[in-house]
Amino acid sequence: MSQKDKALHIIQRLREDGHEAYLAGGCVRDRLLGREPKDYDVATAAAPRAVQSLFPDTVDVGSQFGSIVVLVEGEPFEVTTFRSDGPYRDGRRPEHVRQGTLEDDVRRRDFTINAMMYDPAEDRVIDLVEGREDLARGLVRAIGDPHERFAEDRLRMVRAVRLACGLGFAIDGPTVQAIQDHAAAVTQVAWERIGAEITRTLTEGGARRGFELLDETGLLEVILPEIAAMKGCEQTPDYHPEGDVFVHTLMLLGHLDAPTETLAYGCLLHDVAKPPCRQPAGERVTFYGHPEKGAEMATEILQRLKRSRAVAERVAWLVRCHLRYTQAPKMRLSTLKRFLAEDGIHELLELCRIDALSSNGDLGYYDFCRQKLAELGEKEVKPEPLLRGRDLIRLGYAPGPAFSAMLQAVEEAQLEGELRTAEDAVDWVLERYPRG
C-alpha cells in the first residue's frame, strides 16, 4: 500500500467502529497545493484507548494529549483525538486537554492553512477557518488571535517563518506583529525544537527568505545573535561588492537547492566570526583568523541548537577550511591530493563555489580543484597504501615510534608520484632506513 492508502485504511477502520475520522493538517494543505505530502496525519473523534484497541501495532506518544502513533506495515501515522486545550502556562504545552469536537480541534491549531480536514468518503475539504482562501492568497495567518496562539506555543513563531519560506508565502500583518511582540519569549521553547525548525528553514527551500523573515520578526536576534551581528559588518568592496557580511550570507542562502544539513549550516556560518575578527587596515579591512574562530563559534551555535555531534564536527570543518582551497594551485602534489581526499571535500567545494558566486564571482580556484579531481581520479587522490605496518615487520623492522614516520614518508613519496608499486616502496624504505 502507498502511504496515502495506509492512512485511508486507518480512517476506514475507525469509521467502521463508528468514529468520525479525517485526514488532517499539512497533508490536506499539500494536496490542495498539488504537492506530495511528506506524511499523513489523522484526526478522529475516537479516544486514544479506542484507537489502541482497533490497531494491533501502536505507540503511545502522548495519549494524555490525545496522540497515538499507529503503525501500518511498519510505517508510522499520527492519530490525534479531537481535543480542546486547557490553559498554556509555559508557552509550550497545555496544562491539560479534554476530548472535544471537530470544531474545537480546528480552532486550537496554529495556522489556517494547517487546520483543514479532508473527508475521503465524500471527497470534500472541511474548512472552518478560511484556509483555502489563505492558500489562494499565499498567506500564513494564525487562527483567531495570533497573540493567543503564540502564547500557547512559542515555537509557532518560528514555524510561521518556516512555512512562509518553504511555501513561498507571506505572513499576514497581524501575525507578523504578534511575532515581533513575542519574539523575546521564543527561548521558553526547548532548543531542540527550535533547532529542528531552523534546520528545516535552511534545507526545505527558501532559506534566504526564511532568514530575512527571522530578521524582520526579531527572532534572529534572539535565536542566532551571531548572525544578526553580521549586519553592518562592512567588507572590502573589491572582494565583496555585494555589501556587508549579512548581505553576503543571505546571498549564499539564496543559492541553496535542497542542501544537506551540513552544507546549509556551513553556508550560514562560514563567516560567523567576521564581526569579532574585523580589523581596519587603512582603506581596507581584514578578518584574520576568522575561519578558525568561526569553527569554534559554529560548534557552540550547533550545540545550542541541539544538532548532532557529527553535524557540528562537519560544519566546523567546513567553516575552518572554507578558504583553504585558494591555496590549492600552490600546494605540493602530495598536499593537494591529501586536501582533495578529505572526507567532505565535495561539500566544501560546493560551499566555496557558492561563496565565490556571492562575492566577486571568481571561480578560478574552484575550477582548479574540480579539474584536478577529474584529472587525478579517486585512485590517485586516495590510493591504497603501498606499505603497511605488517610489511615493515616482515622486512625486519621492530615495531615502534619510527613506524609512523616511515609509513608517512612512503605515503608522501607515493602521493608525489615517486613510488608506484609495493616493490618500489620496499626498495625505497630499505635504502633510507637501516634495519636494526
Domain ranges within the chain, ordered by starting residue? 1-137, 389-432
Report the CATH architecture of 1-137: 2-Layer Sandwich (3.30)
* pTM, 2 dp: 0.88
Banded pLDDT at 97 (limits 50, 70, 90): low
Three cell numbers written together for 106: 480546528
pLDDT at 87 over 80: no
pLDDT in tens, 133-146: 999 999 999 999 99
Q: Angle CA(249)–CA(254)–CA(255) in degrees, nearest 5? A: 100
Position 420 scores a pLDDT of 87
**Predicted local distance difference test score (pLDDT) of residue 378:** 81
pLDDT tens for residues 184-212?
999 999 999 999 999 999 999 999 999 99
Alpha-carbon distances, residue 168 vs 116, 165, 171, 208, 209 (angstroms) = 19, 5, 10, 11, 8
Q: Up-side HSE of residue 103: CA atoms within 13 Å toward CB?
A: 1
**Predicted pLDDT of residue 357:** 95
**Alpha carbons 195 and 217: distance in angstroms, whole number:** 17
How far apart CA 112 and CA 122 sit, in angstroms, is 22
For the segment 248-277, the average pLDDT, to the nearest whole number, is 96
35 Rama class: left (phi>0) / alpha (psi -120 to 50) / beta: beta
Pairs from 396-404 (Cβ < 8 Å, separation ≥ 24): 396/435, 396/436, 397/433, 397/435, 402/433
Task: Show the CA angle centred on residue 366, arms to residues 365 and 372, nearest 5°.
Answer: 90
Residues 74, 7 contacting (CB under 8 angstroms): no
pLDDT tens string 118-175? 999 999 999 999 999 999 999 999 999 999 999 989 999 999 999 999 999 999 999 9
Choose among 376, 364, 360: nearest CA to 328: 364
pLDDT band at 297 (very low <50, low <70, confident <90, very high): very high
Give the pLDDT confidence score for residue 323 in this predicted structure. Answer: 95
Q: Return the C-alpha cell found at 332.
A: 605540493
**Average pLDDT of 82-103?**
69
Query: What confidence tier does 93 reach under pLDDT thresholds 50, 70, 90?
Result: low
pLDDT bin (cut points 50, 70, 90) of residue 99 is confident
Q: Give the per-residue pLDDT at 418.
A: 86
- 23, 120 in Cβ contact below 8 A? yes
Question: Residue 42: which of 60, 63, 67 has the closest Cα?
Answer: 67
For residues 92-99, give the mean pLDDT.
64
Question: Which grid coordinates belong to 373?
Answer: 579531481
Q: Read off the pLDDT of each residue in 67-71 and give the average, rounded to a whole number.
A: 94
pLDDT value of residue 243: 81
Residue with cell 571535500: 345
Q: What's the mean pLDDT when you consider all of the chain? A: 92
